[in-house]
A and B are shown apart, each in its own frame.
Chain A
Amino acid sequence: MKAISMLAGKRVGDLAMSAQDRATYAHSIEALIEQTVRAQLGEIVDGVETRFEQDEQGDAAIFVDVFLTAGAPDNLGRRFVDMQLAVMAALEAFGETRFPYLSTKRPNDDYPEDVLVKPRKRQA
């Protein structure tokens, strides 16, 4: 974790960061996010998927899909906000400045009739 922590001061786009460093850093961010999400929501989390993309403002951002189990309540209410703030705080403490956009996905949700929903990635 120490080696990963040393990378935290560098931004992913930095030229000084090698491709291997970038991959290691990305994995550490993914792990940190998943750990934080599971600490907040516990057993109702089925999986967490993270993507590093630009947002609509053109800023580098982190998109996090939180897949919930069938037993999750229809509305997480305050727990969603607490989870969002916890992930923001964890990333900031890590030196990460990209905003995390969290969303929750439920099994058997009704998706628009003209949208093909991609299947989830298999968890390792």
Chain B
Amino acid sequence: MTDDLFALALDLTERESGRPKQASIRRAISSAYYGLFHALLRMFADQVAGRGARNDDVYASIYRYPEHATLLRKLLEIDDRDVRAIAATLKILQQLRMQADYDPLPFGMGKSEAQELIIHAREAANAVRLLKPKQRLATTAAILSSKRR
């Protein structure tokens, strides 16, 4: 699904020839954010429940466990360049996603800028898949601790 979200996002930026519509750029950025977010959730749920459990109800519960707001704070605290790069990209996209979805003020992002961000998001999702076991463990631990009060 994540690859499809990035493809959809890039398609949206090309929906109009010439200057895009705000709605196209807004939906493109939102899709890119969720592409990367789902890549991270997939890694987390695979780590906790196992890939073999993907069709189980418990897998879905684990997949939906992380909270958007606190998740990033914990990830950015991890002393690992690869994980920080993923977390920074997700944080930038989260900020833009919230503006894109909720802010009534004009969304002043150009087509090229949006396309570059989508490609960054897709590369970050690939980086999530390529995390080494130790990095996956640290990331999973950070996500688990993100709900601790």
Interface residues of chain A, those whose CB is within 8 Å of chain B, are: 55-57, 61, 74-77, 80-81, 84-85, 88, 99, 101-106, 109-118
Contact = CB atoms under 8 A, between A and B. Distances in A.
A85 B112 contact: no
Contacts, number: 89
A113 B113 contact: no
Given A85-B88, A112-B19, 16 more contacts: A55-B95, A56-B94, A61-B95, A76-B116, A77-B119, A80-B120, A81-B89, A106-B113, A109-B110, A109-B111, A110-B112, A111-B109, A111-B110, A112-B22, A112-B108, A113-B20
B60 interface: no
Nearest to A61: B95
Nearest to B20: A112
A76 B89 CA distance: 14
Nearest to B92: A101
Contact of B19 (A84, A106, A111, A116): A111
Contacts of A110: 18-20, 110-112
A6 B143 CA distance: 35
Given A85-B81, A99-B91, A105 B120 contact: no
Nearest to A105: B113
A45 B18 CA distance: 25
B126 interface: no
19 contacts: A56-B98, A61-B95, A77-B123, A81-B89, A81-B123, A88-B84, A101-B91, A101-B95, A104-B116, A106-B112, A110-B19, A111-B19, A111-B108, A111-B109, A112-B22, A112-B106, A113-B19, A114-B106, A117-B108
Contacts of B24: 112
A111 B91 CA distance: 23
A55 to B, nearest CB: 5
A56 B89 CA distance: 15
Contact of A114 (B21, B91, B92, B116): B21
